[in-house]
Structure 1
Amino acid sequence: MQFAGRLNNVETSAIRELFKLLGKPGIISFAGGFPDSAMFDVEGLKEASAKALAEEPGGALQYGATEGYNPLREQLAAFMGTKGVKGLNPEGLIVTTGSQQALDLLGKTLISPGDKVIVEGPTFLATIQCFRLYGAELISAPIDGNGVKTDELEKLIAEHRPKFVYLIPTFGNPSGGLLNLERRKKVLELAVKYQTLIVEDDPYGDLYFNEAPPPSILALSDSVPGSREWIAHCGSMSKVLSPGLRVGWMIAPAELLAKATMCKQFSDAHTSTFAQATAAQYLKAGRMPATLAHVRKVYAERALAMGEALRQELGDAIEFVQPQGGLFVWARLTGAGGKVKDGNEFARRAIEQGVAFVPGAPFFCANPDPATLRLSFATADVARIEEGVARLGKAL
C-alpha cells in the first residue's frame, strides 16, 4: 500500500506509546496531560444537556453551521470578554472540535511544504506532529521560566521570516512557563514590526493557582496598534470543563477564519451540535466561575505537594520551577551525586518502580535536552503524588 509522502515527516506520539506500558497493576501515572475526571461538573452538564434538548432540540440534534452553533459563539464571545478581550463579536470566532482541530486548520490553511514555523523549545508534542505533517520546517525558540526569550525570538523571526510563530504563553505544555507581561507586549510589537502571525494557544490560562496571569496576548493587542490583525487565538473547554465535549474555538482575522471554515467543511462539516448546545447552556447558566474556583484549588494543592515531594525525595538531583498554574511540572535531571541524568533511562527505571512520567526529549522540535522530563500532578491525589515521587526517588 502506498501512503502519502507527508507521513514520512511524522511518527507515533511517544506519549501514546508510553501508555501501552501503563497496564502494570498499581502503577502511579504522572504521564497524562488530561484533567481529573473526578472534578467534572457532571450535574451541571446533565442540566445543560437537558436544557439543550428541551429548548431547541432541532438545533442540538440537527446538522449545523460549520462556523459553529450561534448561541455558543455568543457565549464564547462573552466569556472572552470577561478575560479582557474587547470588541469580539460571535462572527469573530469559529467553534472547533477541540483546540487541536484549530491547530490542524492553521496547518491546512497556512503551511506549504518547506514553510518555516517557529515554536517554543519545548512545546506541545501534537503541535510538532501536526505542523510537520503539512511539511513545515520547525524552528525552535528557547524559553525560560518567563516563557519564550523574546530577544532570541526576534533574531529567529528576522533570520527565517516564518509563516507564523506558535506560542503557549500561559502555563505551557510541557514547560508550565508563564510569559511575563513585558515579553507579551514585546511579542505583539514583533508581530507588527515583522508582519508575522502569532498563534496563541491558551488551553490552560484559566487554571491559575494564586494571582491571575497577565492578560492573554490577544487581550493585550489593543495596547499595541496594528497587532490585532496578526493574532490567532486558540481556546478550549477540554482542561476546564470536559475533554469529551470536544469544544474549542479559534479567534483570528476574518480572512483566516474564512479559509479555516472552508477547510473544516472538508473534514467534519461541523463540531457536534449537541456538544455545542450543551456547552452554550452551561456557560449561560453561569456555573463556570464556581467550577474554575474548585479545580484551581485542587490543582494548586497537588502542584504544591508534588513540588515539596520532589525537593524532599530527589533533592539536588532534579531542578524545576514551581508551577503557578496549569497541569505540569517541567523538570531537568542534574546528575548530582552520580544519579541518573538521562530522561529515557530514568523513565525506564521509574516504570520498574511502579510510576510513570514522560521524558522531555520528544517535546523539542530540534536540539532535544535528554535530561528533561514532564510530570503531571492533575490526576493523582496528594497521597498518591507523595507515594509516586517516593518511588521516583528509588528509581534514581
Structure 2
Amino acid sequence: MTPRFAQRMADVQPSAIGELLALGADPAIISFGGGYPDATLFPKDQLDAVFHEVIHAPGGAAMQYAPSNGLPRLREQIAGLMRADGTLCTADDVLILQGSQQGLDFAARMLVDPGDVIVTEDPTFLGALIAFAPSQPRYATVPVDAEGMQTDRLAEVLRANPRARMIYTVPDFQNPTGVTLSLARRHALIALANDHDLIVLEDTPYRQIRFAGESLPTLKSLDTEGRVIHLGSFSKVLVPALRIGWAVAAPASLMRMGCLKVAADTQTSTLNMAAASLFLDRYDLAAHIGTLRKAYRQKKATMLDAIRQHFPQEVSVTDPDGGLFTWATFPDGFDATAFMRDVALPRARVAYVPGATFFPVSQRPNHARLNFSAPSEADINCGIEALGRALKSEFSV
C-alpha cells in the first residue's frame, strides 16, 4: 500500500547526520558526537536504593497512575530548586514532562500554525528543530557571538517578521556553541519580547553545569508579563533514562501544555517520578552536581589543550563556561560532513556532529560540535590527536 501521510509530515524527515552517528556508535570509534553525560558518574547505588524502596512500598503507589501534571511532591521539589536558583514559583507553576524535549514539542504545537515564524539562534539546537518540524514553522535566525544571541540583530529580525510567534533560546552554555547569553542581552531579549508580544521559550538543560564564572538569572526570573516558558531537565544532572523534565510557565500556557500532555502520554512514568522525588529527599543533588562540574571542567580543559596542541591553527573553538560542548569553526569552504564521512570515521576513527544542520535557514558546512563530557580523558587526548593529524593532512593538500 501507499500511505497517505498528513501534510505536516512533509518536513518530518530523518536527520541527515543520523547514519554518520550510527557509524560512530562502533566501539572502535572515539565519539565526540552525542550530548551524553559521563556514565561513570551516574549515582547508580543511590538510584538502586530509591527504586527498590518505591517499588516495594506498601500499596504499590509508585506503580499506579498519577496526576497528569506530575506527582505533587516532585513538583514541590522542583519549585524549590527553581526558587533556590532565583526564579519565584510554586508547585502549581510546574508541569512534569517526559524530558524537556517534550516541552519543545508542546510549545510549538500550542503556539505555531503552519507558516508562522519561530525565531532562533543561528546555529541552534538540532533537537528543537526536530521537535518543531510537525508544526510546519518558518524560521528567522539571529547570529550568536561570545555573548550569545545578538539582540540588536534580534530587534531587526522581529521588525521584519510580523508572523513571529515565539523566540527560542538556550541561554546557558548553548547547544551547539557553548556560549552564554550575557546579562545585558537577557534584559534586552525580554524587553523585545514584551514590545512584540511574543512568547520566549527558554531551554536550560545545561544551566546547572557551570564550572566557571558567575551564574546569571534565568529569563523566567526576569519575566514580568508571564511570557517566558522555562524548560528544565534532570537528564544532564541525574540520569537521562529517567526522562524527567519540567515546564514553568504562566497559568494560561501551563494549562494548555497540560492538555497536550494528556493527549500525548497521559502522564510521565509514576515510578520514575517517585524515584526522582525520593532521590531528592534522600540525597544531596547539589553535591552530585558539584562532582559533575569538577569532572567536566577538567575534561573541557583536556580537550581544549589537546586541540591547541594538535589542530591546525586555521581551526578555532569556543571556550564555554559550562555545559557539554565546544564548537569548532573551520576555514570557509571546508565541509565537516564530507570530512567526517570520508576521513574522520574511516581513517582517524573519530566521530563528531557536523555543524551544517544546526543552522535552520542557511546551512554552513564549516562547523562541528564536539562533546567533552562523555569520553574519557584518555579518549579525548587520543581522539583529538588523531583528528588533528587528519585535519593537518587535509589542509596541507
Query: Is residue 327–residue 367 contact of structure 2 (8 Å, CA) maintained in 1?
Result: yes
Partner secondary structure for residue 207 of structure 2: coil
Q: Deviations over 1:309-368 (max 9, x none)?
A: 111111312112212110001110126xxxx82211221211021000011000010112
TM-score by length of 2: 0.94
What is the letter of the counterpart of residue 105 of structure 1?
A: F
Q: CA separation in 1, counterparts of 2:219 and 2:27?
A: 44
Query: Is residue 21–residue 353 contact of structure 2 (8 Å, CA) maintained in 1?
Result: no
Q: CA separation in 2, counterparts of 1:32 and 1:278?
A: 26
1:44-123 equivalences in 2 (<5 Å): 44-53=46-55, 57-86=59-88, 88-123=89-124
Aligned residues: CA RMSD: 1.5
Report the equivalent of 1:359.
354
Query: Is residue 118–residue 139 contact of structure 2 (8 Å, CA) maintained in 1?
Result: yes
Determine which of 338, 344, 349 is the counterpart of 1:345.
Answer: 338
In the TM superposition, residue 257 of structure 1 has moved relative to its aligned partner by 0.9
In the TM superposition, residue 55 of structure 1 has moved relative to its aligned partner by 5.0
Partner secondary structure for residue 266 of structure 2: coil
User: Mean Cα displacement is larger for which, 47-56 or 374-383?
Assistant: 47-56
Q: CA separation in 2, counterparts of 1:24 and 1:188?
A: 44
Determine which of 296, 307, 312 is the counterpart of 1:310.
Answer: 307
Q: CA separation in 2, counterparts of 1:65 and 1:285?
A: 23
TM-score by length of 1: 0.94
1:168-317 equivalences in 2 (<5 Å): 168-221=170-223, 226-227=224-225, 229-317=226-314
Report the equivalent of 1:27.
29
Report the equivalent of 2:137.
136
What is the letter of the counterpart of residue 391 of structure 1?
A: A
Q: CA separation in 1, counterparts of 2:95 and 2:385?
A: 45
Q: CA separation in 1, counterparts of 2:179 and 2:249?
A: 24
Report the equivalent of 1:386.
381
> Structure 1 pair 69/92, CA: closer, same or farther in 2 (3 Å)?
same
User: Mean Cα displacement is larger for which, 172-181 or 125-134?
Assistant: 125-134
Partner secondary structure for residue 313 of structure 2: helix
Report the equivalent of 2:147.
146
| Identity value in percent | 35
Q: How many residues align?
A: 386
In the TM superposition, residue 212 of structure 1 has moved relative to its aligned partner by 3.6
In the TM superposition, residue 304 of structure 1 has moved relative to its aligned partner by 0.7
- Structure 1: state its 5+ residue gaps: none
What is the letter of the counterpart of residue 201 of structure 1?
A: D
Partner secondary structure for residue 12 of structure 1: coil
User: Mean Cα displacement is larger for which, 119-128 or 6-15?
Assistant: 6-15
What is the letter of the counterpart of residue 321 of structure 1?
A: T
User: Mean Cα displacement is larger for which, 362-371 or 54-63?
Assistant: 54-63
Partner secondary structure for residue 163 of structure 1: strand
Query: Is residue 358–residue 375 contact of structure 1 (8 Å, CA) maintained in 2?
Result: yes
Q: CA separation in 1, counterparts of 2:20 and 2:96?
A: 31
In the TM superposition, residue 23 of structure 1 has moved relative to its aligned partner by 4.9
Partner secondary structure for residue 20 of structure 1: helix
> Structure 1 pair 192/207, CA: closer, same or farther in 2 (3 Å)?
same
Q: CA separation in 2, counterparts of 1:25 and 1:78?
A: 41
Partner secondary structure for residue 139 of structure 1: strand
